[in-house]
């Protein structure tokens, strides 16, 4: 008999047409879906089984219309009190325990994560915890917003005319994430795509300018790409903090820094890219 399987599924950036075919099938077939915050409501509407919202912003650990989720049974010592928990938060351990409980009870479990489960998604930790519990794990990659978000406003993150590559990095260190070495990143000459960077845009911009990036290097901010609230603005590296304040661009948002970011303005001037299916 095969061991129970948990699917770590990428929900992509928002629009349900941007789910992969496999992700759609897994979501529709799941007995239980553990969903992060920031999953688009149109994607959540596809869930036919039980939906447990385990995001850290909204309502955790209480599922909508339910009693607070109980600590998994048969666990004399909750996993987050075990030694060696390291940097993994209580919340994260609770999610692991909940997935393991549901899967060992024989349920088809989908762990639904925004974007791609293996890009800033803690998917690696979740896969490890599941394997340690003897469960089988399947990873269903999803479109990461750091690539699909810029594309939504006409920006190719790589372009042989401008940059032989792209850096995807988090602008929100802490909670176990190290601060990126901004000076080292600046010296690569590659396109920089910064996730969760809006709140710290002034700090990041200052670091990159100090490292020698041009103040007039094209930059863009893309907020809530591929959702009903999508917004963007094209500016320069030096103009980034003011642009965010002036335009009221909100998290979740991406900062794109590099010559390719100028394409946002070009695409907008010619036409709005079509998003709707």
Using an 8 Å Cβ cutoff, are 149 and 18 in contact? no
* Phi, psi of 18, rounded to the nearest 5 degrees: -95, 5
Shortest Å distance, C-beta 179 to a copy of itself: 7
Length of the chain as a residue count: 277
Active site residue 48: no
Between CA 50 and CA 57, with CA 53 as vertex, the angle to 5 degrees is 170
Nearest-angstrom CA–CA distance, 16 and 89 = 30
Identified binder of a copy of itself from the candidate list 39, 54, 109, 127, rule CB under 8 A: 127
Q: Rounded to the nearest 10 degrees, how much is the dihedral formed by the CA atoms of 230, 233, 239, 241?
A: -10
Shortest Å distance, C-beta 141 to a copy of itself: 4
Nearest-angstrom CA–CA distance, 120 and 222 = 17
| Bond into 252 cis (ω within 30) | yes
Nearest-angstrom CA–CA distance, 174 and 214 = 28
Q: Is 155 in the site for a copy of itself (CB under 8 A)?
A: yes
Interacting span for a copy of itself (CB under 8 A) from 37-45, 56-64, 100-108, 164-172? 164-172
Active site residue 196: yes
Identified binder of a copy of itself from the candidate list 68, 78, 215, 273, rule CB under 8 A: 273
Q: Is 277 in the site for a copy of itself (CB under 8 A)?
A: yes
Q: Is 274 in the site for a copy of itself (CB under 8 A)?
A: yes
Q: Which is nearer to a copy of itself, 214 or 246 (CB)?
A: 214
Identified binder of a copy of itself from the candidate list 6, 100, 139, 224, rule CB under 8 A: 139
Active site residue 56: yes
Task: Tell me the two tokens of residue 188.
Answer: 């690569």
Name residues contacting a copy of itself, limited to 179-218 (CB under 8 A).
Answer: 179-181, 184-185, 187-190
Identified binder of a copy of itself from the candidate list 37, 91, 159, 247, rule CB under 8 A: 159
Annotated active-site residue in 31, 56, 91, 159? 56
Name residues contacting a copy of itself, limited to 63-82 (CB under 8 A).
Answer: none
Name residues contacting a copy of itself, limited to 208-267 (CB under 8 A).
Answer: 260, 263, 266-267
Strand partners, 10: 113
Residue 96's contacts (CB-CB under 8 Å, 6 or more residues apart) are: 79, 125, 126, 129, 130, 133
Interacting span for a copy of itself (CB under 8 A) from 54-62, 63-71, 151-159, 242-250? 151-159
Which positions are annotated as active-site residues? 36, 56, 196
């Amino acid at each position: 008999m095969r061991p129970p399987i948990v699917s770590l599924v990428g929900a992509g950036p928002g629009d349900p047409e941007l789910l992969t075919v496999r992700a759609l099938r897994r979501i529709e077939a799941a007995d239980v879906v553990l969903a992060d915050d920031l999953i688009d409501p149109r994607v959540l509407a596809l869930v036919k089984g039980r939906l447990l919202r385990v995001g850290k912003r909204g309502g955790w650990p209480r599922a909508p219309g339910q009693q607070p989720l109980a600590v998994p049974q048969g666990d004399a010592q909750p996993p987050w009190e075990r030694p060696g928990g390291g940097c993994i938060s209580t919340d994260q351990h609770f999610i692991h325990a909940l997935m393991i409980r549901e899967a060992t009870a024989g349920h088809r479990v989908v762990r639904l994560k925004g974007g791609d489960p293996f890009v800033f998604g803690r998917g690696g930790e979740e896969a490890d915890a599941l394997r340690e519990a003897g469960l089988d794990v399947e990873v269903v990659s999803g479109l990461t917003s750091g690539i699909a978000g810029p594309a939504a406003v006409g920006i190719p993150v790589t372009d042989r005319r401008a940059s032989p590559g792209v850096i995807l990095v988090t602008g929100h260190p802490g909670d176990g994430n190290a601060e990126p070495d901004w000076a080292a990143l600046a010296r690569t000459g590659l396109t920089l795509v910064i996730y969760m960077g809006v709140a710290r845009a002034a700090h990041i911009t200052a670091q990159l300018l100090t490292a020698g990036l041009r103040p007039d290097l094209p930059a863009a901010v893309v907020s809530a790409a591929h959702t009903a609230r999508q917004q963007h603005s094209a500016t320069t590296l030096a103009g980034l903090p003011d642009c965010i304040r002036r335009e009221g661009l909100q998290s979740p948002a991406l900062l794109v820094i590099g010559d390719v970011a100028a394409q946002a303005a070009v695409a907008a001037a010619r036409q709005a890219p079509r998003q709707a299916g």
